[in-house]
Amino acid sequence: MPKHILVGYDGSETARRAYLFALELGACAGAKVSVVSVYQMENGADTAALMMADTTRERLAAVREELAGLKASPGVDLDVQLVHGSPGDALLTYVAQNGADHIVIGHTERGALARWLVGSTSTDVLAKARVPVTVVR
């Protein structure tokens, strides 16, 4: 049974379902659940540094507020964090640095062109993860 579950959260419907699944799994296993929302910057490094300093607290507060509006499992040790970077890489780095032993992520079906242009976080995580991964649709 997992002891520390990481759930990737981007605000999508499948991410909400993944979050609720991770809470239920955490409650059943007595595991800590860490919600990680990844903010990917598109501009240059200087602009990114300036924007991160100004908006990180606000973005984190918005994610926490959104999660609070969803059904929660009582008794789950819950942690919410906002990190910056490429979503797949950021989630896998979190696992390595924080000892998460299970990943739960949502999967949104995209067309072939969109997958080719922007990739798929769930496919990236599945290909590289060294811990069990649950993909919620």
Range of the domain at 45: 4-136
Contacts 24+ apart (CB under 8 A), 91-99: 91/6, 91/8, 91/36, 91/38, 91/121, 91/125, 92/125, 92/128, 92/129, 94/6, 94/34, 94/36, 95/6, 95/129, 95/130, 95/131, 98/4, 98/6, 98/34, 99/4
Q: What is the CATH number of the domain that holds 62?
A: 3.40.50.620
- Distance separating alpha carbons of residues 77 and 74, to the nearest angstrom: 9
**22-48 pLDDT, tens digit each:** 999 999 999 999 999 998 766 555 555
pTM for the full model?
A: 0.85
What was the pLDDT predicted at 53? 60
Query: In the predicted model, what is the mean pLDDT of the chain?
Result: 84
Taking residues 51-80, report their average pLDDT: 83
Total structural domains within the chain: 1
